Amino acid sequence: MFQQHTLLACNLLSMQSKGNVKELSMQSNIRDVTTTVWCTGAANAGVPLSIIVKNHGWNAYFTALLAACGMAILLLAPMVNLKSYVQREALAKSKAA
C-alpha cells in the first residue's frame, strides 16, 4: 500500500516537472522509466527494516541501524589521511622546486 502511494507521488512529480506537456520523444520516455525505477528503489528501501521491526521489534531495528553506521565508518576509515588532488599537486610542486 505504502509503495503504491510512493510510486504515484513520484510519477506525479515527474509529470509536474514537465509542465503538463507530454513530450513525445525517446528522451522523455527514458526519463519516465528512470524516474519510475528510482522511485521504486526508494519505495522498497525500507522493506528490510520493516521486516526486522515486524519480526524482531524496535530494538533490533536500532541495532541494525547502528550496525549499518558502523560498517560505513569501517569502510570509510582507510580514506582518513588521503590528500585531495589539489593537495597532491601542491606537494608535487613543492618537491619539484
Between these two residues, 5 and 41, which has the higher pLDDT value? 41
* pTM > 0.75: no
d(CA 3, CA 89): 48
Q: Which amino acid is at 67?
A: A
Q: What is the 3-state secondary structure (H, E, C) of 55-76?
A: HHCHHHHHHHHHHHHHHHHHHH
Segment 75-91 mean pLDDT: 94
Positive/negative CA dihedral, 86, 89, 95, 97: negative
Mean pLDDT to the nearest integer, 79-96: 93
Encode pLDDT of 17-66 as tens digits: 555 444 445 555 666 666 667 777 777 778 888 899 999 999 999 999 99
- Is residue 59 within 8 A of residue 19, CB to CB? The reply is no
